[in-house]
Chain A
Amino acid sequence: QVQLQESGPGLVKPSGTLSLTCAVSNGSITSDNWWIWVRQPPDKGLEWIGEIFHVGATNYNPSLKSRVSISLDKSNNQFSLTLTSVTAADTAVYYCARVLGIGPNFEYWGQGALVTVSS
C-alpha cells in the first residue's frame, strides 16, 4: 500500500514562506497519478490547495494561486509545497495525498503536518 509522510517546519513567521515535503513509499512519484495538497485549519473544514501530475503539470486553487507552488523531486520520490507571504490564516494541518484516476478521489493520505504561523 502506498504511504505518504509530510515533513517540514511546524512554525513559520508571518510574511514568511511555508515549505513542506511529502515523501512517498511503496509507490513511485512517476506513476500515472496526480498528487495533491489539502489543508484544514483548526476545527474547520478541508481546503484543496493544488495538485501536480507526474510529468510536472500543475493546477492550483484560485484563491491561493498567487502564493502557492507545488513541485516534484523524482530523485527522492517526493513532492513539495511552497506557500509564500503567510499569515495566521494559513495556520492549518497540511495533508498530502494521491489521486485515484480522475476526480476528487484522494485514496492515500499522509498523517498530516500542523503548521502554525506566529511570531
Chain B
Amino acid sequence: QSALTQPASVSGSPGQSITISCTGTSSDVGGYNFVSWYQQHPGKAPRLMLFDVSHRPSGVSDRFSGSKSGNTASLTISGLQAEDEADYYCSSYIRTTPSTPGYVFGTGTTVTVL
C-alpha cells in the first residue's frame, strides 16, 4: 500500500488560514469517511487532531477543520498561531482486498509559521 500524497511544506503568517491536502485512491481516502489528521512536534508522539474526516476530539481547537472530496481530504488551520508549527500527517482506512484491512499514512507536511 502506497503512502497518501501530501505537500512537503506549507507556510503562512500568523492569523492566516492554510490548507493541507491528502490525496489517495478509491481504496482508501475515496472509499471511506475514515480519514484522520495528526500533529507532530519534534521529538514528540503524534496527536490526533481530526477523525472521521471532520470531527475534533475533545481539547482540539475549532481552528482545525477537515473536509473530503473524492480521493482528496483536506485539513484547514484558521487563525494560524506559532504553536501550530509542526508536521502534519493524514491517515486513512484502507482495504486493498476484502481480507486485508488496515491503515495508511500520508507523506507528511511541515507547517511553518512565518
* A is bound by B: yes
A contact set with B: CB distance below 8 Å: 36, 38, 45-48, 50-51, 59-63, 95, 100-107, 109-112
Count of inter-chain pairs, beta carbons less than 8 A: 75
**B7 CB → nearest A CB, Å:** 13
Q: Quick one: given A61-B1, A104-B35, are A112 and B106 in contact (CB under 8 Å)?
A: no
**A117 CB → nearest B CB, Å:** 21
State the CA gap A63–B32 with chains docked (Å): 22
**B71 CB → nearest A CB, Å:** 16
State the CA gap A77–B107 with chains docked (Å): 33
Question: A45, B105: Cβ atoms under 8 Å?
Answer: yes
Q: Quick one: given A47-B105, A48-B102, A59-B101, are A103 and B48 in contact (CB under 8 Å)?
A: no
State the CA gap A47–B104 with chains docked (Å): 7
B contact set with A: CB distance below 8 Å: 1, 3, 32, 34-36, 38, 45-48, 51-52, 57, 89, 91-93, 96, 100-108
State the CA gap A60–B100 with chains docked (Å): 8
Q: A47-B105, A100-B57, A105-B52 are in contact. List 4 more A-B contacts (CB 8 A).
A: A48-B104, A95-B46, A103-B51, A109-B47
**A110 CB → nearest B CB, Å:** 7
State the CA gap A106–B93 with chains docked (Å): 12
State the CA gap A109–B39 with chains docked (Å): 12
Cβ contact of A62, chosen from B32, B51, B52, B96, cutoff 8 A: B96
- In the bound complex, residues from chain A placing their C-beta under 8 Å from that of B91 are 46, 48, 104, 106
**B57 CB → nearest A CB, Å:** 6
Question: B51, A109: Cβ atoms under 8 Å?
Answer: no
Cβ contact of B107, chosen from A45, A59, A62, cutoff 8 A: A45
- In the bound complex, residues from chain B placing their C-beta under 8 Å from that of A60 are 102
Q: Quick one: given A45-B3, A46-B89, A61-B1, are A106 and B102 in contact (CB under 8 Å)?
A: no
**B39 CB → nearest A CB, Å:** 12
- In the bound complex, residues from chain B placing their C-beta under 8 Å from that of A110 are 45
State the CA gap A61–B96 with chains docked (Å): 11
Cβ contact of B105, chosen from A48, A59, A102, A112, cutoff 8 A: A48
- In the bound complex, residues from chain B placing their C-beta under 8 Å from that of A100 are 48, 51, 57
- In the bound complex, residues from chain B placing their C-beta under 8 Å from that of A104 are 34-36, 51, 91-93, 103
